[in-house]
Structure 1
Amino acid sequence: MRIRHSFTALVTLALVSGGLVSCTASPQATAIEVTEQTIVVDVRTAEEYSAGHLDGAVNVNLQSGRFESEIAEYDPEAEYVVYCRTGSRSAQAVATMEAAGFDDVTDAGGIDSAASATGLPIVTE
């Protein structure tokens, strides 16, 4: 595909010439304030959650087939920070939550980006 090759060539040129200093896939580049009222939601599987999650996070598996019904039990007026492994599932979860009427939902991306942005440590069970 011509456009794809042109983009690849442009990125390669930028890297070679030093024009690209850094690149991040995180949807949230700035700090995310987490208060006692903030509900931090890990949308990964239970196994992923058990292997390491942000301190205080609740696990609501996006891929369980029950995400919408489980999230419906939460207050749509509360403040939420959502993360996953890489940022893909968190984006899907945020879109689903917003469509369900949740007003204050922040996509923190992947777990490492979320830990950096929130300052919350990654803990294991």
Structure 2
Amino acid sequence: MDVYAVQYIAIAVVLALMLYVLGKYGKRELEWGDLLFWVVILVGLLVVSIFPIEIAMTIKQLLGLGRGLDSLFVVAIGLAYLMIFKVYLAVDRTEREITELTRKIAIELEEIREMLEEIEKKS
């Protein structure tokens, strides 16, 4: 098994990203589910960085593609779509929460206005 300089760079980058993600979790800026998601992705990238040719050939055989590098691109694109979908779900959930909070605030403000009007009438 030949080891290329780009593999060392990839391993160093993945390990640095792991430390970054763990640091974010330690500072409570990342939830457990998100930590688990990123650790799984980064461990996968680490394994691909260590054994790129073997993994590319295995995926190539499983997917029936012509070249090993094509298989890595197909898997990378699939993972990118999964991450985009995860971000979409988070944004959608946040928008729903904002809408609900806005409604609650509007209702409470209306109740406060009504109470103030009643107080002014009594005075």
With normalisation by structure 2, the TM-score equals 0.24
The structure whose Rg is larger is 2
Greater strand proportion: 1
With normalisation by structure 1, the TM-score equals 0.23
